[in-house]
Amino acid sequence: MADQPRRPRTLNDARTEAEAAFKRTTTKVPEAPTKPAALPGVKQLISLRIDQDVLEHFQEGGPGWQDRINDALRKAAGK
């Protein structure tokens, strides 16, 4: 058989293409999530592995050893 002639485009095809083009141009691109603002004085619970001798050094001072570790880390971070 010889090549059959192409079927002419119908109004329905044009409408479908127009709707698809409209949808592509009007669809909002989701924005990247924003980093939550750090609240002053709010601490976050984490798990941290440190050497036993370092832990003992901070615990020798008695209660408040976690705050002392936090202060040392803050100082090391330059804050």
Per-residue model confidence as pLDDT tens digits over 15-65: 888 888 888 887 677 787 887 777 777 888 889 999 999 999 999 999 999
Which helix (H) or strand (E) covers residue 65, if one does? helix 65-76
Q: Please give the structure tokens belonging to residue 40.
A: 């002053």
Per-residue model confidence as pLDDT tens digits over 51-70: 999 999 999 999 999 999 99
Is the pTM value of this prediction over 0.85? Answer: no
Rounded to the nearest 5°, which phi and psi values hold at 32? -65, 140
Domain coordinates of the chain in residue numbers? 44-78
List the Cα angle 60/63/68 in 5-degree steps. Answer: 75
The CA R_g of the chain, rounded to the nearest whole Å, is 32
